[in-house]
Amino acid sequence: MRTDTPPTIYRKDYTPPSYWVRTVEMGFDLEPSATRVATRMTLERNQTSNDKVLTLYGEELQLVQIRLNGKVLGTKAYQLKDGVLRIPTTAEQITLDIETLLQPDRNTSLMGLYVSNGNFFTQCEAEGFRKITYFPDRPDVMATYKVMLRGDKKKYPVLLSNGNLIEQGDLGDGRHYALWEDPFKKPSYLFALVAGQLVCQEETIKLKSGREALLQVWVEEGNLDKTQHAMDSLINSIRWDEERFGLELDLDRFMIVAVGDFNMGAMENKGLNIFNTKFVLANPRIATDVDYGNIEAVVGHEYFHNWTGNRVTCRDWFQLSLKEGLTVFRDQEFSADMIGTDSGRAVKRIDDVRVLRQAQFPEDAGPMAHPVRPDSFVEISNFYTVTIYEKGAEVVRMYQTLLGRDGFRKGMDLYFERHDGQAVECDDFRAAMSDANGRDLTQFERWYSQAGTPRVVATTVYDAVHKTYAITLKQSCPATPGQKNKLPFHIPVAVGLLDSNGNDMQLHLRGFPQVQSTVVLELMEEQQTFVFEDVSEEPVPSLLRDFSAPVNLEYDYSDADLAFLMAHDSDAFNRWEAGQRLAARRLLALTATAQQSGAVLTTDPALSESLRLTLNDAALDPAFREIALNLPSETVIAEQMDVINPQAIHQARRFLRQSLAQALRADFIEAYKANQTPGDYSPDAASAGKRALKNLALSYISELDDAAAHVMAQTQCDGADNMTDRVAALGALANSTAPGKEAALAQFYQDFEAEPLVVDKWFSLQAMARTTDVAAVRKLMQHPAFSLKNPNRARSLIFSFCNGNPSQFHASDGSGYAFWAEQVIALDAINPQVAARLARSLDRWRKYAPSLQSKMQAALKRVAQTAKLSKDTKEVVGKSLAAE
């Protein structure tokens, strides 16, 4: 922590290291308050470097001793300043011994080595290894590691690190040891150790090549009944990567460990993935269908990193999306393939696009907007963003859209052939895709270098005489911080044309021989016109099918066109999209009305009739019907307004939901009855889809807040045999005036008090309830189960309120903002990474009405002026406040 302005790091300043580290041997004497770490590394001079200094990084370390080639280095032989250790040397080969002393039990940042519930864990990405020892802690320095762990036998019966267990035994003094060796060279951010009282579920499987591998899922005792789904997901991930990409597990042993205190979702440490408990533990009693899906996705994600991230890693942190965007794309495809059906794939795609629009589009339009490959940062932890991850995945998906599945696979094969064992750049990935397919992808590079969500405006002309249909696409991209003018992107726009019966026309694109029902138009200029021939009647265009590019596509559809697409488009994504466009139109109109005092909101029978058709269409999967009946969120509507009025949006959306509930009440009741899932709970996609539709029906019916609705929710809450149904019913009650509401909340807590992940749900659901204001959140913070120190708990209450309850958070008196500032400051002293995430909640402050804006600005300034603020939080609030 520093008080001066933290430095900005630039991509253009990259220089190769002056030394490579070849081998690392580490010895840990594990003690919560004083862990001794002895590190020996062998280094070799990088012949291409002119730098006459060996540079190592260290933070919050007590340095005991440095020895260079066996000789103790006096304090004059090196320079230590601001976490950088410089040793002047030009020797070809060096052996460096460094001894450090750590205090893991006082490490609340959860970076480096820390204690959680009495056990030891590490988190080294991105720059946590430097909190363990002084080291050239940068991803282009790769070495093989041998790790000796020593600790009390009773307190730490389990001692784990990366790779293979070589040896273990007794030390005689009540302590024992374990020696681990990782045969693959890796960057320091993939180092990990775990020590403590843990138990595991294990299974041996045969890999495609015939080799055997031991798989383990490690948890605290008492959680062994919650590991089966993670194990199944791991096995499915291994099989999927063998099948889809021909990639096999390269270790004899692969471990997953769950920890309750964790900054993010999970971490892909080589052979020893460490997970937030939220993404491991599941059984029907404690986990929802969504939790089951998330666990499968995150287990897949971390496993897939073994190739995309670990075997081929990043040259520097500006290349982060090289591994994250690619690995998110891979986990998205994995989850889609696990569902299997076409409509299931579409639902998964819609879910992913919803996340993108809800979180990434606002980021790309706000003060923290950055390219998929950023040019600068202050704190790299702040760049684990939805842009790097989700937009990065969209960029990877576009290669597949442009090159086809087979072409994409060829590109992947070439990427591994060229770069296995290397630390590379995003450009290397693009080159592999380009070279493997003989395709010029020069212009595609702009997806990596230019921030902002492109806008594509489509116009069409039908020529009835010549039977041609012309689509003109015009692209632009709004200015983002440091990037005023943008050059045209290479945008794949998948298009279909519907005839008057709602069928796909066969498309004859001028200049292209192939006839298809979906064509990918490649928009490369600022404006381009594409002409279709032999078009027998004026079609309704289905544009950007399957969301073929991360852009905002505008077209002047009539309401009738949208209703038609909703009913007929063969592209399930665009069927959903048409409904969303129609609903967003209504919501924006209602919001405008709600802002005029005395204005009366009125219903729209056309929208409810379209939604009724979808709701009752038995040919559609329940999961699809559920997602189609879900109105655009308050955040998505806010992004479409010039000046955001959270109260008006909330009022409009609630009104629309209530009027839909009234109009479709009988249909919802019917859907509720028709989508029961009797028998034992199973998280499979078909059952989950039914539960989702049933619970959507319940939530609409509950909007009516009458006695019948209360009984329905109460009955479900009391009778539920799984968490999906229980929490859905409790949520409905929490948003109602049902007489049994308080009792239901109390009962839920009593039933699940011993399950931290369920207590998180309990906090979160109350944080987002309509009537929960700042005072109510403060009261919840007084609950004995609340703690700011546990990130999951802080997220469940504070983040849920600030990000998930916009109408209360944006209370006109500014009380929400004052609360936010207080919590950011309090969290910053405990855990800068988590604090900096919360600091992002006011990103879009300039888009609000002036009365709110000034109060947000004041709260931001209050945080910015706090003494001893971390560079994490300082960067976020600094960028928010910076002149546009």
- Residues of this chain that bind Zn ion (CB under 5 A): 324, 327
- Exposure letters 422-451 (e unless 16+ CB within 10 A, then b): ebbbbebbbbbbbebbeeebeebebbbebb
Q: Which does 123 bind (CB under 5 to 8 A by kind): Zn ion, ligand TRP, none?
A: ligand TRP
* Per annotation, catalytic residue among 302, 363, 626, 634: 302
Residue pair 655/590 in contact by the 8 Å Cβ criterion: yes
Q: Which stretch binds ligand TRP (CB under 6 A): 42-50, 258-266, 516-524, 707-715?
A: 258-266
Q: Which stretch binds ligand TRP (CB under 6 A): 263-271, 391-399, 439-447, 818-826?
A: 263-271
What is the size of the binding site for ligand TRP (CB under 6 A)?
12
**At its nearest, how many Å lie between ligand TRP and the CB of residue 268?**
5
Asked whether the bond before 464 is cis by omega within 30 degrees of 0, the reply is: no
d(CA 601, CA 656): 9
Q: Judge whether 302 counts as a catalytic residue.
A: yes
- Token look-up 């496993």 returns 303
3-class DSSP state for residue 812?
coil
Binding to ligand TRP in span 307-336, by CB under 6 A: 324
- Binder to ligand TRP among 123, 306, 332, 400 (CB under 6 A)? 123
- Binder to ligand TRP among 25, 31, 97, 125 (CB under 6 A)? 125
Alpha helices in 315-466 (DSSP H): 320-339, 342-355, 361-365, 386, 392-419, 426-437, 446-449
3-class DSSP state for residue 332?
helix
Q: Does 634 bind ligand TRP (CB under 6 A)?
A: no
**At its nearest, how many Å lie between Zn ion and the CB of residue 154?**
35
Q: Does 267 bind ligand TRP (CB under 6 A)?
A: yes
**At its nearest, how many Å lie between ligand TRP and the CB of residue 593?**
43
Closer residue to ligand TRP (CB): 238 or 264:
264
Residue pair 499/469 in contact by the 8 Å Cβ criterion: no
**At its nearest, how many Å lie between Zn ion and the CB of residue 301?**
6
Q: Which does 725 bind (CB under 5 to 8 A by kind): ligand TRP, Zn ion, none?
A: none
Closer residue to Zn ion (CB): 324 or 634:
324
What token pair was written down for 829? 């002293």
Query: Binding string to ligand TRP for residues 362 to 401, with x set by CB under 6 A, is what?
Result: ----------------------x-----------------
Contacts (Cβ under 8 Å, ≥6 apart) of 798 = 767, 777, 788, 823, 838
Closer residue to ligand TRP (CB): 266 or 272:
266
Q: What are 708's strand-pairing partners?
A: none
Q: Does 263 bind ligand TRP (CB under 6 A)?
A: yes
Q: Does 302 bind ligand TRP (CB under 6 A)?
A: yes
3-class DSSP state for residue 178?
strand
**At its nearest, how many Å lie between ligand TRP and the CB of residue 287?**
20
Closer residue to ligand TRP (CB): 110 or 769:
110
Q: Which does 241 bind (CB under 5 to 8 A by kind): ligand TRP, Zn ion, none?
A: none
Q: Does 535 bind ligand TRP (CB under 6 A)?
A: no
The total number of residues written for the chain in this structure: 884
Contacts (Cβ under 8 Å, ≥6 apart) of 527 = 472, 473, 474, 475
Residue 546 — left, alpha, or beta (φ > 0 → left; ψ -120 to 50 → alpha)? left
Instruction: Classify burial at 13, counting beta carbons within 10 Å of its beta carbon; exposed 0-12, middle 13-18, buried 19 or more.
Output: exposed
Q: Which stretch binds ligand TRP (CB under 6 A): 119-127, 286-294, 588-596, 807-815?
A: 119-127
Q: Does 275 bind ligand TRP (CB under 6 A)?
A: no
What token pair was written down for 165? 């267990």
**At its nearest, how many Å lie between ligand TRP and the CB of residue 263?**
4
d(CA 39, CA 809): 49
Residue nearest to ligand TRP (CB): 264
Q: Does 264 bind ligand TRP (CB under 6 A)?
A: yes
Q: Does 299 bind ligand TRP (CB under 6 A)?
A: no
Alpha helices in 133-284 (DSSP H): 228-245
Residue pair 570/496 in contact by the 8 Å Cβ criterion: yes
Q: Does 193 bind ligand TRP (CB under 6 A)?
A: no
- Summarize as ranges the residues that interact with ligand TRP (CB under 6 A): 123, 125-126, 263-264, 266-268, 301-302, 324, 384
Point out the residues that are catalytic.
302
